[in-house]
Structure 1
Amino acid sequence: MRVSWAKLLALSYIYEASQGSPVQVRNEYQLQPFHIDLSSRVPRMLDQIKGTQLPAQPVYINTGTSAGISLSLLESFRTEWLTSFDWNREQEDLNKFNHYTAVIEGLKVHFIHETSKAKDAIPLLLVHGWPGSFLEFAPVINELTKEATTTTGKKVSFDVVVASIPGFAFSSAPPVNWTVADTARVFNTLLTNVLCYDTYATFGTDWGSGIAYSMYYQFNTTVRALSLDFLPFHPYTSDQLAAENITLSSLEEFEQAEATEWNNSGEGYFVEQTTKANTIGLALYDNPVGQLAWIGEKFVNWSDPNAGQSPSVLTHNQILRSVSLYYLTECFASSVVLYQQNPNGFASVYTKANTDAPLLYSAFKYNVGFWPPAVVAKTGNLVLYTNHESGGHFPGLDNPPALLEDLREIATYWS
C-alpha cells in the first residue's frame, strides 16, 4: 500500500488548530521541492576553461590513446564547451523533472521523483555510480513512468526515484567512514519513510550496484526486486571460470576479454582514488578542463565504440553536461572519496543475499566488468539474465531502449 507523500508534505505545514486539540504534523525529513540554478557559477567555469593552456609539441609526448585521453580529443571537447555547449539550456531541460531534497541522518539528499498515472505502478529507485550522476538516467525516467508491457504481455509502469549519492551533485558530503551500506540505509529510509512506499524495486550501476545490492541484502522485506548491470564483486578470471567449468558463448568470450584487458590496464584511477583521494580531488577541484580529462576519458573508454549513434545518446554534449554538473556543484573532491571510504567496496568473496526477491541482470557488450549467469546467481535469486550486443558502462546513455526493456521485466516477477 502506498501513502501519498505529497499529501504528507502538505500536512507538514498545518499548525495548531485555533480550537480543540492542537494539530501539528512535523515534516521530520524537511522534504521540499528543489530547483537547479547554477547559472551564477557558469562565468567562472568558462573563464577557467578559456584560461587553461594545453600543451603543444615538443612538450606533449603523444603515446597513444592507451595512455588515456588524447590531446586532440581533449582540445575538441574544450572547443565544443566554449562554443556550442549551453549550461542554461541544459539546466532548463533538467528542471523539467520534479526535483526534491530531504534531510536524512543529517544529510541533505537530492532526488528526482516522477510518478506514473497508473495506480499499480512499481516504485523503482535508480542508483548511479562514478563518474556518473542522476544525469545518466535522464533519457529513461519519463519513459519508465508510462504504461508499457513486458515480453509476457503484463502491463507495467513505475514511480521513478533517482537519488544522488551523498557527496555527488546536490546531495551533501557524508561524514568520515561513510560506506555504501550507510548510503543503502539512507536510501531505504528515503523510499519507505520519506516517500512512504511499503515495497520497491531498485537498479544500480557501478558503485550504485554496491548500494542497490546492499539494500537488497539488508532490507529484504522492502526491496522486493533488484536489477543490476554490474556487481560489487571482483569478476572471475578466466582461470576461475575454467575451474568451475563455466563455458562462455562467443559474445561472453568477447566480454570476458574486454573485462580482463580493463583489469590489466584500466584501473589506475581506481588505485589513485582508493589510496590518494584527497590528492586527485584537490588537484582537480577548481580545474574544469582537468576534470574533463579525468572524467571524460572514462565516458569515452567505458562506452560502446559507436557512442552517439543510435541507440546510444552518449554524445560529447552529454559528457560535457556531466562534467559541468561535477564542476558547478563543486562535488568532484567529495565524489572520489567514495573510493577511499570503501576500499573493499568490490569484494573478492561472494555472498548470497538471504532473500527470495528476484534478481535481474543486464550485461552490455562493452561494459568494463563481466559476470556470466552462473556467477551472478551466486549473489541472489537470479530469475533473468539478458546480454546485449551493444552498450557499455552507462546503459541509460549507451543503450536506453535496452535498459528500459530490461527494467520493465521487473513486473514479470513482481508480487
Structure 2
Amino acid sequence: MSMTPYTVAIPQADIDDLNARLARVRWTDELPDAGTDYGVDLASIKRLVSYWQHGYDWRIWEARLNAYPQFTTTIDGENVHFLHVRSNVENALPLLLIHGWPKSVFDYLTVIDPLVDPSSHVGEPAQAFHLVIPSLPGFGFSGPTTQKGWDCFRMAHAFIELMHRLGYDRYGVHGSDWGAVISPEIGRFDPEHVVGVHVTAIFSSPWGNSAEIEALSKEEKVQWQRYLAWQQHQGGYYHMQSTAPQTLAHALADSPVGQLAWNYQNYGNFQNYGKYEKYGDGVSDDYVLTTAALYWFTNTAASSARLYYETAHSARVQHRSTEPTTVPLGLVNFAGDHRTIRTFAERDHKNIVSWNIYDRGNHFATQTAPDLLVNDMRTFFKMLRS
C-alpha cells in the first residue's frame, strides 16, 4: 500500500550511450521516389535523428515532468508510476487520465494546468480536477512487467486499486487509444465509484454478423470502410505486437533509431482509403523524440507491446460480459479517427450522454487540439459532478 515519491533522473551514462548509438547509426536503403508507399521514409528519420543529436534536450522534458508530484507503488505484483496533481479547489473532482501506445504520461503535460487550475486557463473553479496520471504497467517509468497476463482488464483493476488507495471514493476517467479501451472497463468493474467515462474513441465492432454491416447508415458504411482501409494499410504494428511482440522487441531494444521509426509510423494524417500522406503531421519533433527516448531509456519496447498480445489472447475477451455498460459515457472524437461507429457504440453502451466529433486535431489530440479536449472534458463532467 506504500507510495514512494519519484523523480525522473535518467543517468548521464544512458544519455551518452544513446548519443553514441545515434552517431554510428547504419541507415537502411530506400527505393527512388518511394515516398511513404513502403512505410516511414528515410528522409524523415534522418531529419529527426539529426535533431536528436544536435538540438533536442531530454533534460528539458525531464524537468517539465518533474515539475509535478510523482510516485510509484506496487499493485498486483508490478510497479506503477503515476503523477498525482491536486487542485487548490478542495471539492475538485478526481480524474484518472489513461494514455495508450505509443504514448506516455508526457502526453498529458499540455492539459494538466488547465484541468487543475481552470481559473487561470479560461475556466471556472467549479471545473477543477484532481488528476491521477499513471504510466501503464509495462510502459515508461512503470518499467517492464515481470508476469504474464497484463491485459487491458488487469490494468483496469490495477487503476481501480490505485484510485482507492488514494482515497478517492468518487472519480471520473478519461482515456485515449488503449486508455479508451481500459476506461470503459473501469466503469464496468467499479460503477459504484466511477461517475463517468470520457474517451476519444469507442472500440465497438460487429459481432461477426454481416447483417450488422448492412444495417449501418450510408455514412457509417463509409466510416467502416475507412477503418478497414486504415487497418489494411497502417495496422501492421497491431498485428505484429498482437502475435510476436518479443521478436520485434529484440530490434527495438538494440536500436534507438528503430524505436523512433516504429513509433513514428503512428504519427500522421491518414487519408480516407490509403496511406499516411505525411508522417508527424500536427505533432512536434520534441514530442516525437521525447516519447521515443522514454521507451528507449526505460527499455519498455517489449513490455508495452505485450499489452497487444495479452489482450488478443486473453480468456477474458472471450468471456467478458456482453451486457451494455451503464456508467455515463462521453465521446470526444477528432479529425481522421475513423474507429468509432455510433451504431455499434450504442449497442455496447446504453448511457452515452455526450457525443462530439471535431474537424481538427487527430489521434494525438493532447498535442494537436488540447483546447478542444480540455473543454470537452470540462463540459462532460460538469453534468456528473453533483
Alignment TM-score, normalising by the size of structure 2: 0.88
SS at match of 1:126: strand
Partner of 2:362 in structure 1? 392
Contact kept, 8 Å, 1:39 with 1:88, in 2: the verdict is: no
CA–CA separation in structure 1 for the residues paired with 2:371 and 2:99: 18
Partner of 1:178: 150
Answer 1 or 2: which has greater helix percent. 2
1:360–1:385 Cα contact (<8 Å) kept = yes
Q: Is the 8 A contact 1:235 1:371 kept in 2?
A: no
**Would you say the 8 A contact 1:360–1:382 is kept in 2?**
yes
Query: Is 1:276 the counterpart of 2:276 in the alignment?
Result: no
Contact 1:353 1:379 in 2 (8 A): yes
- Letter of the 1:196 counterpart: G
Identity of aligned residues (%): 26
Q: Does 1:333 align with 2:305?
A: no
In structure 1, the residue corresponding to 2:265 is in which secondary structure?
helix
Verify the 8 A CA contact 1:351 1:378 in the aligned structure 2: no
Please tell me the root mean square deviation across aligned C-alpha atoms, in Å: 3.0
Residue 133 in structure 1 maps to residue 133 in structure 2: no
The answer on 1:292 being equivalent to 2:264 is: no
Return closer, same or farther for 1:305/1:391 CA change in 2, 3 Å cut-off: farther
Name the TM-score, length of structure 1 as normaliser.
Answer: 0.82
Q: What count of residue pairs does the alignment treat as equivalent?
A: 375
The letter for the 1-side match of 2:214 is: A
Q: CA deviation at 1:62?
A: 5.1
1:132-190 CA deviation, whole Å, 9 max, x = no partner?
111111100111112369x9999311001110111001114331122211111111010
1:227 aligns with 2:189: no
SS in 2 for 1:155: helix
Structure 1 position 242, deviation (Å): 5.6
Residue in 1 aligned with 2:36? 65
Q: Which residue of 2 aligns with 1:359?
A: 329
CA distance in 1, matches of 2:223, 2:69: 37
Given residue 192 of structure 2, which amino acid in structure 1 is its aligned partner?
Answer: T
Give 1:30 shift. 2.1
CA offsets, 1:112-131, max 9 Å, x none? 11111112211100111111
Partner in structure 1 of residue 10 of structure 2: 38
1:324 pairs, out of 285, 293, 310, with: 293
3-state secondary structure, aligned to 1:170: helix
* SS of residue in 2 equivalent to 1:263: helix
Q: How does 1:3-402 map to 2 (within 5 A)?
A: 29-40=1-12, 41-56=14-29, 60=31, 63-147=34-118, 155-174=126-145, 175-192=147-164, 194-234=165-205, 243-248=214-219, 256=224, 258-301=226-269, 314-343=283-312, 351-355=322-326, 357-367=327-337, 369-372=339-342, 374-380=343-349, 381-402=351-372
- Flag the structure with larger Rg: 1
Q: Distance in 2 between matches of 1:50 and 1:395?
A: 33
Change over 3 Å in CA distance of 1:365–1:305 after alignment to 2: farther
- Judging changes above 3 Å, is the alpha-carbon distance between structure 1 residues 153 and 167 closer, same or farther for their aligned structure 2 residues? closer
Q: Deviations over 1:38-77 (max 9, x none)?
A: 1421110111111112135xx6565331321001111111
Which residue identity lines up with residue 336 of structure 1 in the other structure?
A: A
- Measured in 2, the distance between the counterparts of 1:368 and 1:241 equals 17
Q: Tell me which amino acid in the other structure corresponds to 1:259.
A: Y
Partner Cα separation in structure 2 for residue 288 and residue 71 of structure 1: 15
Contact 2:176 2:200 in 1 (8 A): yes
Cα distance change, pair 371–319 in 1 and its aligned pair in 2 (3 A)? same
| CA shift for structure 1 position 414 | 3.0
- Distance in 2 between residues matched to 1:227 and 1:139, nearest whole Å: 17
User: What is the letter of the counterpart of residue 361 of structure 1?
Assistant: L
Question: CA separation of 1:112/1:184 partners in 2, compared to 1, >3 Å: closer, same or farther?
Answer: same
Q: Distance in 1 between matches of 2:20 and 2:148?
A: 33
Q: Distance in 2 between matches of 1:79 and 1:240?
A: 52
Specify the code of the residue in structure 2 equivalent to 1:384: S
The DSSP-based 3-state class of the residue aligned with 2:169 is coil
Distance 2:277 2:358 in 1: 14
Q: Which amino acid aligns with 2:15?
A: V
For structure 2, the 5+ residue unaligned runs are: none
Asked if structure 2 preserves the Cα contact closer than 8 Å seen for 1:205 and 1:228, the reply is: yes
Q: Distance in 1 between matches of 2:295 and 2:154?
A: 22
Q: Structure 1, residues 230-287: CA drift from partner, whole Å, max 9, x if none?
A: 23433799x7666334353xxx787555423202211111111111110001121121
Residue aligned with 1:378, SS? helix
What residue in structure 2 maps to residue 16 of structure 1? Answer: none
CA contact 1:281–1:333 (8 Å) conserved in 2: yes
Q: Deviations over 1:161-220 (max 9, x none)?
A: 11011100111433112221111111101001x210001110111111221111111111
1:352: how far off? 4.2
Contact 2:206–2:213, Cα closer than 8 Å, also in 1: no
